[in-house]
Amino acid sequence: MDFFRIASGVSFDEPWWLVLLPVAVLLALFMWFYGRKELPGVLYPSVGAVRYAGFAANPLISMLPVGIRWLALYAALLALAGPRAPFPASDRNTTGIDIMLALDVSESMKQTDFGGKTRFSAAREAAMRFIDNRPSDRIGLIVFSGGSFTRCPLTIDHEVLGRLAETITPGFFEEPGTAIGTAVLTATNRLKPTRSKEKVLVLLTDGENNTGEVSPVTAARLAAQNGIRIYTVFAGKDAQSSEAGKSPALSMKGRQELAEVARISGGAMFNAGDLFGLMKSFRDIDRLEKTRLKSHMPGRSVELYPWLLMSAVILLVVEQSLLATRFMRIP
């Protein structure tokens, strides 16, 4: 349907050249019926021997060079008319989001309460699936416990990002604790100078902020000022007194803190008590951030004469090549 719409809208800058097209057709017909009598030739007592020697050709095939020559003439006449093809305006969908992932690598992430997997290995698996679903976005990785470290800056090379993520294990830092505010500040410093209109931080932890010089709320306000949305994920079952020394009160405080960080920045907070919940949390974040930036491509016209002239030249080269080989005429 698009092809016919474009073809029906073709216009010409010099349409008077098109008057020569029917003249060229009439001239070609005249040469076909009357011009062949004027061609020079060689008399043979019997054409059978010539055919047997392999010099015979189908009459239609023998006219191939002549037909190519006339096609080249028609293409040249069309090029002189200056044809233009219209291309209508269209909307193009693109995605361009800069995302930093911040994963908690504190000792408590070694807890094996995610279907036999540690909290960290389950979180890394969910994060890698999230990355695979966003091939058009630049994604980076931050790891944190008592401090924070940029393991991979923003990159479109997700294969390299995956390899770097595979080398991380809980206890990556010697500093104990969970510095959520420091992790948010590190991510903000990474995202702030980028030109992307969409900037996102996805932070996953299983505890509350208990170290670092910057509080999560203060860091979240700074992130919001720089247009960064924060999605927080609390990984782990409801804390019991036997789990990594955490009490239910501390667990509740950590979740409230994560919810406040997300609220300040315009993001959302998710609870993941098992592997399924963790996968669902990342799927929900992926869905929320599937905002497509539509770029409008205005209508335009494309000049066709260069292609027609090129076609005419190629046809003439083909014709001369045929006349110099299989379709050679003697004399």
Length of the chain: 331
Task: Identify which of 100, 150, 166, 105 has the alpha carbon closest to the alpha carbon of residue 130.
Answer: 100
Cα separations (Å) of 156 from 19, 29, 85, 200? 56, 61, 37, 15
Spatial strand order in the sheet of 268-272: 148-155, 138-144, 97-104, 198-205, 228-235, 268-272
pLDDT confidence of residue 113: 79
> ∠ CA(29), CA(35), CA(40), 5° rounding?
150
Q: Which amino acid is at 39?
A: L
Angle between helices 275-288 and 119-132 (to 10 degrees): 30
Q: Which amino acid is at 281?
A: S
Pair of tokens at residue 119: 């909290």
**Alpha-carbon span 255 to 232, nearest angstrom:** 9
pLDDT confidence of residue 56: 55
pLDDT confidence of residue 296: 46
pLDDT confidence of residue 239: 39
CATH numbers and ranges of domains, the chain: 2-87+301-323 (no CATH), 93-292 (3.40.50.410)
Query: How far from chain centre, in Å, is Cα 106?
Result: 36
pLDDT confidence of residue 21: 81
Using DSSP's 3-state secondary structure scheme, residue 105 falls into coil
Handedness of CA 211, 257, 203, 216 (dihedral sign): negative
Cα separations (Å) of 182 from 3, 86, 144, 271? 57, 55, 8, 21
**Alpha-carbon span 252 to 259, nearest angstrom:** 11
pLDDT confidence of residue 273: 83
pLDDT confidence of residue 2: 57
> In the chain, where do the E strands start and end?
11-12, 83-87, 90-94, 97-104, 138-144, 148-155, 198-205, 228-235, 268-272, 293-297, 300-303
**For residue 61, is it left (φ>0), alpha (ψ between -120 and 50) or beta?**
alpha
* Residue in the structure block whose two tokens are 């799927």: 283
Q: Are 296 and 91 in contact (CB under 8 A)?
A: yes
Q: Are 175 and 145 in contact (CB under 8 A)?
A: yes
Q: What is the DSSP letter of 210?
A: -
Q: Which neighbouring-strand residues pair with 268?
A: 231
Task: Identify which of 174, 198, 275, 197 has the alpha carbon closest to the alpha carbon of residue 233.
Answer: 275
pLDDT confidence of residue 27: 79
**Alpha-carbon span 234 to 203, nearest angstrom:** 9
Using DSSP's 3-state secondary structure scheme, residue 180 falls into helix
> How many other CB atoms are found less than 10 A from the CB of residue 293?
13
pLDDT confidence of residue 33: 66
Query: How far from chain centre, in Å, is Cα 78?
Result: 38
pLDDT tens across the length of the chain (331 residues): 455 666 667 778 888 888 888 887 787 777 766 655 555 555 556 555 555 555 555 555 667 777 888 888 888 888 888 888 876 655 444 456 899 999 999 988 988 878 788 899 999 999 999 999 888 889 999 999 999 999 999 999 999 999 999 998 888 777 888 999 999 999 999 999 988 888 999 999 988 898 888 999 999 999 999 999 999 999 876 533 334 444 455 567 888 999 999 999 999 999 988 888 889 999 888 888 765 444 445 556 778 888 888 988 998 888 888 777 766 665 5
Phi, psi for 141 (deg, rounded to 5)? -135, 130
